[in-house]
Amino acid sequence: MLRTKPVLITAILLGSLSLGACSHLGAKPWERSVLARPDMQASADPVQAGLDDHVYFSKEASSGGRGFGGGGCGCN
C-alpha cells in the first residue's frame, strides 16, 4: 500500500506533463466554446452529486473519488 502512493503520484505528474506537452492534445482558446458549456464542466451538477454522495456514503463502505470523502455524517 505504502509503495503504491508515490508510484501513483509520479504517474499522475508524468502523465500530465507528457500529455500536456503533446501538440495533439488540448484546445486553443478559440476552440473552447463546447468546453465552456455548463454541461461539459467536470462537475455539471454539484448539488445533486452531493446528494448522491450522501446516499452512497451511508449505504456503502466507499466514499470520495471526485472530491473529499469525509462525509460529515453520523452514519458510520
Partner 1 sequence: MQLTPEDKRRALAAATLTLLGGGLPSAQAEDKTWDIDTAVMVYAESDNRVQAVEPVLKGTLNLGAERYFTAKLVVDTLTGASPNGATPASTPQTFAGPSPYTADPNETPLDDRFRDTRFQGLVDYQFPLSDVDTLGFGVNAGTEYDFVSLGGNLRYARDLFQHNTTLSAGLNFESDSIDPVGGIPIPLAVMRVASDSDDDDGIDDDMNGWRDGSSDSKTVTDVVLGWTQVIDPKSLFQMNYSLSASSGYQNDPYKVLSVVGADGEPLRYVYEARPDSRSKNALFMSYKRFVFDRDVTEISYRYMTDDWGIDSHTVDLSYRWYFGTAHYLEPHLRWYSQTAADFYHVALDDGEETLVSEASADTRLAEFDAVTAGIKIGSAVPGRGNWSLRLEYYQQSPKLGGVPTQAADGLSKFDLQPELSAVMLTMGYRFTW
Give the shortest CB-65-to-partner 1 separation in angstroms: 4
Cell numbers 470520495: residue: 64
Write out the three cell numbers for 55: 446516499
Write out the three cell numbers for 28: 486553443
Instruction: Restricting to residues 36-65, name those near partner 1 by CB under 8 A.
Output: 36-48, 50-51, 54-56, 59-65
Q: How far apart are CA 66 and CA 4, in angstroms?
A: 20
For binding to partner 1 (CB under 8 A), which residues are involved? 1, 4-5, 8-9, 12-13, 15-16, 19-21, 25-29, 31-48, 50-51, 54-56, 59-74, 76
